[in-house]
Structure 1
Amino acid sequence: MAWIYLLVAAVFEVVFALATNATNGFTELWPSLLTAGAAAGGIFFLSLALRTLDVGVGYTVWTGIGSVGTVVLGSVIFHESMNAGKAVAFVLIIGGVLGLKLSDRSATA
C-alpha cells in the first residue's frame, strides 16, 4: 500500500508544479488554491507512504516521479523544449527510481 500512496503523492507533486506555473506569482486565485491543495495532498500521501518506506527511498522516488512527470507534461501543456540530453537524463532518473523500488527492503509492504 505504501507504493500506492507514493504514486498518489507523486501525482499531487506534478499537479503542484504545473499549477505553480499558472499562478503568475500567486496573483491568480484558482491556480494558487490548486497549488496549495496539491502541495498539501502530496505531503499528506507522502507521509502515509513513509510509515513503511525508508525516507531516503520514499522522498527520492516521490521527487523523481514528480520531476519526470512535470517535465513530460510541461513539454506537452506549456510547449517547453525537449532535447536528447534531457531525454537521457529522464531515462536515468526513471532507472534510479526503479532501482530504488527494487532494492527497497520493504518493497513487499
Structure 2
Amino acid sequence: MALTRDFKQTVLARVQADPAFRDALLEEAIDAMLAGDVDTGKSILRDYIKATVGFEQLGADTGSSPKSLIRMFGPNGNPQARNLFAVISQLQRHAGLTLHVRAQPQ
C-alpha cells in the first residue's frame, strides 16, 4: 500500500518540530535494517533524509551524487555497505548522535 502525500507531509512536519521523534526515526531505520527488513529501513531513511539534511547536502557531505543517493534509497535500490555506512555516519554527525548496537536475548 502506497503512503499518501499527506502522511509523508505529516512525518516531515513532525521531524522538523520534534527532535526526539527525529532521533527515534533514525534509530528505527537502523533497527529495521539490522533486523533484516532492509526495504523498510531504506524507506524510513529516505523520509528522514528528505526531512533533515536533504539529498543535495548529503551528497556533498559523502562525496556521492544526490541522484545516486536517491536511487540507493529507492524501492529498487541496493546500497553497497560502504555507501550505506558512509550515509549513516554522516546522518549521525548531522543529528549530533552516536548510535550503538547492543545484543539482546531473543
In which range does the TM-score fall when normalised by the shorter chain?
0.3 to 0.5
Rg comparison, structure with higher value? 1
When the two structures are superposed, what TM-score results if normalisation uses the length of structure 2?
A: 0.36
The two structures have a TM-score, normalised by structure 1, of 0.36
- The answer to which structure, 1 or 2, has the higher relative contact order (CA under 8 A, 6+ apart) is 1
Higher helix share: 1
